[in-house]
Structure 1
């Protein structure tokens, strides 16, 4: 099972160092990869337990190229082959 963390920073952008520490504290939940991002005053961190490959297309949090939206989740998308595009659209 993956690890998910996040926080809202009033008035400022979340500190990337804090997000990295949050992910490090969850490393036992997802030892295969970790990542973090922030949009405005919201920060997300994720540690990944990979069940289907370790490619960059599965890296989380997933963020639109515009940077406007991000998501991090734990679960399985059963119709992933149907939804998958020829190339990864997220960074």
Structure 2
């Protein structure tokens, strides 16, 4: 899985638009190109996007590096972590 594919996956699970993901960090155009694999993104900017939206940075990199280690429950774990980071008890 590429960084762009992983970002898109996280974004869609969070029910966010590309505009919301990019807001205040990078342009929507640049972000869209990262998701599509047209542009690379530097580590600082990637971590900032993940952190601002309360995504698990370590889990994100694990997903990219070794999909199989994420296991069959990765998506569920990701959703629980996202809800927990947002302190959204109802979603959890």
Instruction: Indicate the TM-score class for this superposition, using the shorter chain for normalisation.
Output: under 0.3
Higher strand share: 1
What's the TM-score, normalizing by structure 2?
Answer: 0.27
Higher helix share: 2
